[in-house]
Amino acid sequence: MVGPEPRQSVGVGVTGPAGAAAAASRAVGLAHLGLAALTQRRWLLASASPARLALLRAAGLDPDVAVSGVREDDVEGSPESVVLALARRKADRVAATAGPVAPDVLVLGCDSLLDFEGRALGKPTDAADARRRWAELSGGTGVLRTGHWLIDTASGCSAGEVAATTVHFASPTDAEVAAYVATGEPLAVAGAFTLDGLGGWFVDRIEGDPGTVIGVSLPAVRRLLGRIGVPLTEVWPTQPSPQRPRA
């Protein structure tokens, strides 16, 4: 069993202009996003994850989404190196496409894995695999690691960071696991569980940033903005947020 691990972030230094050799050939792919008509800085999320999109929207951003289509099964190494490499691969692919169409966009790529007993667990292959996964996770402790890579297409600067949050799992019954797997939710997420969805019933507690488990750490993204020279206040919404009802 993986012992409790404190909140952790592994930073990567700023790099120069993102590669854009194949940009022209893929520029048409972003036409449906309306990026060609952009006249101000926008965000582009290089991920199909609805949870990541919802978290960023709750934080005041309204990113467009462009799925990178990169392979995720051909990267080897430690969980930290794998999630960072995949996050960078996604962001680089989308930035190369977005550059000629919208040259003033912040592109964010993310990837997550569950580090459990020395193994990196991504999405289950099928329902049977998800049930086997939960038989192992039950009552155990793992570390959810999310890699982030942020690119400023205006300057070409980029930076990456891996955030980690320790997850203590409950011990669901066989019937609960079967019902959970039948919803299909665990098949679509790293580690076969969510924190902000149905899987939250089976997480006893976490140590660290909950956003890391959901799929994007806002503190990590803020640090990355600083590393590439973009003030957080420059990307906040210009209109006042609607007042949320108080309990």
Tokens coding 197: 């969805």
Q: Which residues of the chain have pLDDT under 70?
A: 1-40, 99-102, 238-247
Of all helices (H) and strands (E), which one includes residue 105? strand 105-116
Instruction: Write down the pLDDT at residue 222.
Output: 97
Query: Could you give the 3-state DSSP secondary structure of residue 219?
Result: helix
pLDDT of residue 237: 72
CA distance 53 to 47: 8
What's the pLDDT tens digit per position in 51-70? 999 999 999 998 999 988 87
Helices (H), 41-196: 50-58, 79-98, 127-137, 174-182
pLDDT at 234: 85
pLDDT of residue 5: 41
pLDDT value for 7: 39
Q: What SS3 class is residue 75? A: coil
> Quick one: CA torsion of 97, 95, 235, 65, rounded to 10 degrees?
60
CATH entry, 8-230, from 3.40.1390.10, 3.20.20.70, 3.40.50.2300, 3.90.950.10: 3.90.950.10
Tokens 């503190």, located at residue: 219
Q: Which two tokens stand for residue 78?
A: 């430690």
Q: What is the pLDDT of residue 68?
A: 86
pLDDT in the model for residue 74: 77
Cα–Cα dist 238/90, whole Å: 28
Q: Is residue 15 a contact partner of residue 150, using CB atoms and an 8 Å limit? A: no
Tell me the DSSP string of 119-151: EEE-S-SSHHHHHHHHHHHTT-EEEEEEEEEEE
Strand partners, 204: none
Return the pLDDT at 1. Answer: 37
Q: What residues have CB less than 8 Å from 13, skipping those under 6 apart? A: 159, 227
| Catalytic residue numbers, as ranges | 111
**Taking the CB of residue 95, how many other CB atoms lie within 10 A of it?**
30
pLDDT at 242: 57
